[in-house]
């Protein structure tokens, strides 16, 4: 968010968390196109390979996953391990609750709560997977008959399809990156020349441990933000020093 947007944001907008991020129309259209392509591929391939055993209910959680993969592909919640691990552990928990907890209300609630806790401990938080746990725990007779095989097909199949589409689609656009680790090395020269002391992984781990909350931003994004902010600050100082006749090199 730039300073202009922050200045015009009203108190109620801040309270509601309305983001005034200056995202281009191009980026928004690309995100929408990615969502269409991702879900079309998941639905089409599932129908071809599984036929009537494909579960339309899972399309709900896949739709949420598509929003993450194609609208915020750099997010920590969108990366391959959260995507795979989150959906699979939630599917396993959902099936277990469906099979062994006879009360639907209790099964749905228990599956969702256990899935959130499991994703936290396995470091694979993926919000759409909560919908996978819920939908699976409330599955119909056909889902119940499939048992734990449901986790392999259609769940794992759907997850792998949208993961492959996510990697391939985002690779078409140079300013996008998925998985985020693909550009870690390419960012290194830019960060190295930013003119500030390097921040280690241990520094980030310590800082995050002090906040004691999941932060949906990668180390690379934090470094890039810091690099852009300090670079702009240095340019402003240099410009002010030049205008006043002060030698910028002598400034601290």
pLDDT tens-digit map of 76-113: 899 999 999 999 999 999 999 999 999 999 999 999 99
Under a CB-based contact definition with an 8 Å cutoff, are residues 157 and 117 in contact?
no
pLDDT digits (tens, 9 = 90+) for 194-248: 555 566 667 766 776 676 666 666 666 676 677 777 666 566 666 666 666 555 5
Low-confidence winner among 55-59, 70-74, 134-138, 238-242 (lowest mean pLDDT): 238-242
CA distances from 239 to 121, 195, 208, 226, 249 (A): 49, 17, 35, 20, 12
Instruction: Provide CB contacts within 8 A for 31, sequence distance 6+.
Output: 70, 71
Structure-model confidence comparison of residues 217 and 162, the more confident one: 162
Low-confidence winner among 3-7, 144-148, 186-190 (lowest mean pLDDT): 3-7
Domain ranges of the chain: 24-178, 183-241
Structure-model confidence comparison of residues 18 and 190, the more confident one: 18
Check residue 70 and give its pLDDT: 96
Check residue 47 and give its pLDDT: 86
Could you give the maximum distance between any two Cα atoms of the chain, in Å? 80
Whether pLDDT at 145 is above 70: yes
Other beta carbons within 10 Å of 60: 15
Check residue 153 and give its pLDDT: 86
Under a CB-based contact definition with an 8 Å cutoff, are residues 222 and 204 in contact?
yes
């Amino acid at each position: 968010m730039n300073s202009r947007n922050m200045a015009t944001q009203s108190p109620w907008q801040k309270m509601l968390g309305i983001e005034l991020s200056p995202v281009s129309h191009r980026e928004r259209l690309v995100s929408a196109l990615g969502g269409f392509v991702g879900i079309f591929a998941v639905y089409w391939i599932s129908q071809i390979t599984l036929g009537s055993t494909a579960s339309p209910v899972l399309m709900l959680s896949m739709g949420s996953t598509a929003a993450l993969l194609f609208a915020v592909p750099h997010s920590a919640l969108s990366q391959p391990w959260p995507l795979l691990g989150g959906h699979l552990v939630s599917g396993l928990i959902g099936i277990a609750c469906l099979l062994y907890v006879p009360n639907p209300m209790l099964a749905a609630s228990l599956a969702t709560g256990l899935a959130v806790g499991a994703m936290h401990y396995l470091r694979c938080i993926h919000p759409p997977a909560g919908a996978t746990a819920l939908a699976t725990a409330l599955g119909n007779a056909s889902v119940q008959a499939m048992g734990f095989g449901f986790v392999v097909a259609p769940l794992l199949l759907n997850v792998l399809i949208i993961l492959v589409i996510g990697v391939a689609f985002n690779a078409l656009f140079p300013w996008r990156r998925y998985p985020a680790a693909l550009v870690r090395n390419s960012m290194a020269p830019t960060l190295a020349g930013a003119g500030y002391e390097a921040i280690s992984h241990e520094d980030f781990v310590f800082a995050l441990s002090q906040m004691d909350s999941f932060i949906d931003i990668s180390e690379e994004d934090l470094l890039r933000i810091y690099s852009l902010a300090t670079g702009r600050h240095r340019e402003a100082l240099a410009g002010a020093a030049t205008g006043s006749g002060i030698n910028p090199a002598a400034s601290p």
